[in-house]
């Protein structure tokens, strides 16, 4: 569960094609009335459900079956998001050159094959930690292309005026999946073992690809301009985000929040199972509670934005949850477990509201031809912070102890909201549109 501000995430294509008929149809009362959105929604919901299962099942597999250390669990988590640092920026330029639906389907097929190899190797008694490293790393590359193209494809499907509602629906589904997926992940590990639970994740990617194949709205072909240079296009996207007075603080705050949250989350399987001797099911329930918080945050986001103003809402909620990291760092048996669970609920409420308010702001502030590169730059910074957080957590856990990693994350979480507060967003009620 991360800000996809880890996260996520117009009526024209990358070539500036005219707005869709759906965009111009005021009679449509709900975004779910758009058939293509229903398929996009179903694809995202299904694949996210499976991803949440593996989010828990893979580190548990490493700890329980392969006897992984804190450093190895941290490396596994870092590799799962390292692709956003390695290819995140060029991916945006590539996405702006390709048909985005086709790219998402390809990414789903690749992820299905990769995660499907885990139960097969386990059945053959050939599973190693190095295979898990490869699966999460290459799967992360596919996820980069899926996520960047997905957030760039959405404005084409629903139109700019429906982005707020569409993002709220998608983030609500993602939050529900965090409850159902992580809860199911913990219990599936207990019932059918971790490798078979990961096989369930592989099947969800197949279902996601089939749903995307049902999207019928023609996607305009990307403009092929002579003399285009990948490096210049990457720099154009990065300069747009980092030079924009509103997008820059959103990106930096999202990266800081993800860094803090990931440092708290990475070693939880080790803390729960090895140090506190709690069950995998309880770990799944704890993480699943975060889905409740994200779901409530996504439901309330639009109302909060209207009440406080979209800019002000971004830092007020961050200030409100600033002390919560300390409660998470004190997680233990008994009352401390309940206090940490409630703090996690509050933190994920912020994540849920951020994923609606900030992703919508990003899409509205960005012209169509830069959507892919804008989303890729955000993914590089925001999701790349997850890899850094995982690596730092693993190193701190190995050399300074689990609590050192948790307290470091708590400290970063306590101050990250200041990046929005000391920006033009501080008192803005409405954001300008591209």
Q: What gap in Å lies between CA 388 and CA 409, rounded to an integer?
A: 12
When pLDDT is averaged across residues 278-298 and rounded to a whole number, the result is 81
188-197, 347-356, 393-402: which range is least confident on average? 188-197
Is the predicted pLDDT of residue 130 greater than 80, yes or no?
Answer: yes
Question: What tokens were used for 132?
Answer: 């898990």
Contacts of 208 (CB under 8 A, 6+ apart): 43, 44, 46, 47, 108
pTM score > 0.85 for this model? no
Task: For tokens 């985000």, name the residue.
Answer: 241
4, 382 contact by CB (below 8 A): yes
Q: Which residue has the higher pLDDT, 114 or 29?
A: 114
What's the CATH architecture for 31-220+230-427? Up-down Bundle (1.20)
Neighbours of 122 (CB within 10 A): 19
The pair phi, psi for residue 387, each rounded to 5°, is: -65, -45
> Which tens digits make up the pLDDT trace of 184-213?
777 777 778 888 889 989 999 999 999 999
Could you tell me the CA-to-CA distances from 184 to 84, 161, 226, 320, 346 in Å, in that order? 27, 35, 50, 30, 22
Rounded CA-CA distance 292/180 in Å is: 10
Return d(Cα 317, Cα 333) in angstroms, integer: 28
Residue 432's pLDDT is 64
Question: 149-179, pLDDT tens digit by residue?
Answer: 887 788 778 776 777 778 778 877 776 766 6
Query: Domain segments of the chain: what residues?
Result: 31-220+230-427
Encode pLDDT of 115-129 as tens digits: 999 999 999 989 999
Confidence of residue 434 (pLDDT cuts 50, 70, 90): low
Q: What is the pLDDT of residue 343?
A: 94
- The total number of residues written for the chain in this structure: 434
């Amino acid at each position: 569960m991360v800000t996809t501000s880890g996260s996520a995430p117009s009526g024209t294509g990358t070539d500036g094609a005219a707005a869709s008929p759906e965009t111009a149809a005021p009679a449509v009362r709900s975004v779910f009335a758009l058939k293509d959105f229903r398929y996009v929604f179903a694809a995202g919901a299904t694949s996210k459900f499976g991803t949440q299962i593996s989010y828990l099942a893979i580190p548990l597999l490493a700890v329980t079956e392969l006897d992984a250390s804190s450093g190895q669990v941290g490396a596994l988590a870092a590799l799962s998001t390292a692709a956003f640092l390695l290819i995140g920026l060029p991916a945006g330029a590539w996405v702006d050159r390709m048909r985005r639906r086709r790219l998402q389907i390809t990414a789903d097929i690749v992820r299905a094959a990769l995660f499907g190899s885990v139960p097969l190797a386990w059945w053959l008694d050939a599973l190693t930690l190095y295979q898990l490293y490869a699966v999460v790393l290459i799967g992360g590359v596919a996820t980069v292309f899926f996520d960047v193209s997905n957030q760039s494809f959405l404005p084409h499907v629903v139109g700019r005026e429906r982005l707020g509602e569409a993002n709220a629906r998608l983030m609500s589904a993602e939050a529900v999946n965090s409850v159902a997926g992580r809860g199911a992940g913990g219990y599936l590990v207990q019932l059918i073992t971790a490798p078979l639970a990961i096989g369930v994740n592989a099947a969800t990617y197949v279902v996601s690809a089939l749903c995307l194949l049902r999207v019928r709205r023609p996607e305009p072909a990307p403009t092929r301009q002579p003399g285009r240079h990948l490096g210049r296009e990457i720099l154009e996207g990065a300069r747009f985000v980092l030079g924009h007075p509103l997008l820059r603080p959103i990106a930096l705050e999202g990266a800081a929040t993800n860094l803090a949250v990931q440092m708290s989350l990475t070693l939880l399987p080790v803390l729960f199972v090895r140090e506190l001797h709690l069950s995998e099911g309880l770990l799944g329930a704890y993480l699943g509670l975060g889905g409740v918080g994200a779901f409530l945050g996504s439901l309330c986001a639009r109302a909060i934005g209207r009440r406080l103003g979209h800019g002000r809402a971004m830092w007020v909620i961050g200030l409100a949850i600033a002390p919560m990291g300390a409660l998470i760092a004190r997680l233990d048996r008994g009352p401390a477990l309940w206090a940490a669970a409630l703090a996690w609920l509050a933190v994920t409420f912020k994540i849920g509201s951020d994923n609606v308010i900030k992703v919508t702001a990003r899409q509205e502030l960005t012209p169509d031809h830069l959507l892919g590169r804008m989303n890729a730059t955000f993914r590089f910074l925001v999701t790349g912070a997850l890899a850094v957080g995982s690596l730092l957590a693993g190193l701190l856990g190995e050399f300074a102890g689990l609590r050192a990693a948790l307290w470091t994350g708590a400290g970063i979480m306590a101050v990250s909201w200041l990046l929005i507060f000391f920006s033009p967003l501080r008192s803005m009620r409405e954001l300008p549109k591209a």
